[in-house]
Amino acid sequence: MVFNSYTFVLFFVLLLALHNFPFSWRTKKINLLGASYLFYALWNPPFILLLWLSTVVDFYMAKLISVTEEKTRRRLWLAVSLVLNLGMLSYFKYGGFLLENFTVLMNGLGIAFQPAKPDIILPVGISFYTFVTLSYTIDVYRRKFKPESSFLDFALFVTYFPHLVAGPIVRPEDLLPQFKQPTKASSEQMVWGLFLLTLGLFMKVVIADGWLAETSDLIFSLPFPVNPLDAWSAVLAFSGQIFCDFGGYSTCAIGVSLCLGFKLPENFRYPYASIGFSDFWRRWHLTLSTWLRDYLYIPLGGNRSGLFRTYMNLLITMLLGGLWHGASWNFVIWGGLHGIFLCVERMFRNWSGKRRKATAATGEIVLQATVIPMRNKNVSNFLLAMLTFFLVNVTWVFFRAPDFNKAILMLLCMFGVITQGPMLLSTPDMLKIAIVTIGLILCHWNMRDRSVKDLFKSLPWWFSGTVWAAMLILIILTQKSSGSFIYFQF
């Protein structure tokens, strides 16, 4: 089931009614758990068994970890959780990829090896709920908190349908405390939740699918070179599409949850206004970037063991972050490019910091912050944001292209190395992409330190109502052309 379907509208209305009936709190939680399993089962019912297995094993492993003092046994129980979760993720998501690369390696060594093609179906959302359950057992192992005593609450934490399929990636502290006391949305929460649901659907249905997807899909599917203008148009179209699709899903999830009285963590913070790649990862897919930081980058040593180790830890983290997105070398390259940009940015900051110290040591007075007018500083920051946006778009080529060869071909076309490709996109298509791109940049830049809620509170009610009604009308008119969310494949 997807948010952008009439089936979900019926499902959500019925669930809201059940959640607001005068049932006991335990009954309401059972209703939510059952609805979450139904929401997931409509994709492929047998995969509920994997979700159930992960839930049961991690619930009891955390209990064993908590009551065991012996370090070896605690590590053993943690290993059971890690092996089960990462093993299932590796088999279903990376089994075919590993076998394919092993076959290439064997044939490269002159060993004739041609295995049967594996028939593996990727369970929807497995990358997301695996990280959710792992964060729980790891935090219990670290004695960050005691294990959850209620299996119902833990199962609901793992399976809660708004975040289950494509995030946000929740931590135990995000949801478990909210399940302890009876919760029902206030009138303000209900209105704001419905508005966020509408906004998320507008981003997905109207902008991502209605305006951008067709152009991006067309150009990236072609086996031959295209005109540089077409290549850039396709990349910019995908840049807007991926944000409006994934950001739209997260906005829907937060809105749906708010209508039920629960708060999910923020997942996007106007990423196309980022000043540098460190800033980008503080604004793009926040729950993944913080998960990678806390459970991978810091355990590897973070920035505590010298510059070389810091750079290596950044690269390893981003390479694995790229691989998390999919079983393809393109995703590894995408993550590696982000890792390289983060390292270069850190090198520049270290160099500029040493230079300022050296300048101060010579007795020179440096007051850049006061000498540079604020207007010029804003202009320079905006230019840095545009440079970041440009480089992010270069990396998106590897994220979107079906294979490495197509990614290289697109880059060669974008930068004019290959110019003999035909002109395929019409002027209206390019104008539409330009409007969305400029609109996103201006919106993100002006909203980078604000929230949508604060903005709409400052507007007259009639204006906010008109915008809301316009979004609803456009969603209904465009709904037929809307497809599944991009991040469901991860």
| Residues carrying an active site annotation | 325
Helix axes 374-400, 228-259, angle to 10 degrees: 100
Look-up: residue for tokens 């694995």?
A: 320
Q: Residue type at 54? A: S
- Burial annotation 260-283 (CB, 10 A radius, 16+ → b, else e): bbbebbebbbbbbbbbbbbbbbeb
Q: If phi over 0 gives left and psi between -120 and 50 gives alpha, with beta otherwise, what is residue 68? A: beta
Q: Which of 284, 287, 54, 263 is nearest to 174 (CA)?
A: 263
Q: Can you tell me whether residue 145 is helix, strand or coil?
A: coil
- Count of all residues that appear for the chain in the document: 490
Q: Using only the alpha carbons of the chain, give its radius of gyration.
A: 24
What is the secondary structure of 358-413 as a DSSP string?
A: HHHHTT----HHHHS-HHHHHHHHHHHHHHHHHHHHHHHHHHHSSSHHHHHHHHHH
What is the secondary structure of 46-69 as a DSSP string?
A: GGHHHHHHHHHHHHHHHHHHHH--
DSSP alpha helix (H) spans, 260-306? 277-280, 286-292, 298-300
- Displacement of CA 9 from its chain's centroid (Å): 24
- Give yes or no for a contact between 3 and 256, defined as CB atoms under 8 angstroms apart: yes
d(CA 324, CA 360): 44
355 burial type by CB count under 10 A (0-12 exposed, 13-18 middle, 19+ buried): exposed
Identify the DSSP state of 449. T
Q: Can you tell me whether residue 123 is helix, strand or coil?
A: coil
- Give yes or no for a contact between 137 and 83, defined as CB atoms under 8 angstroms apart: no
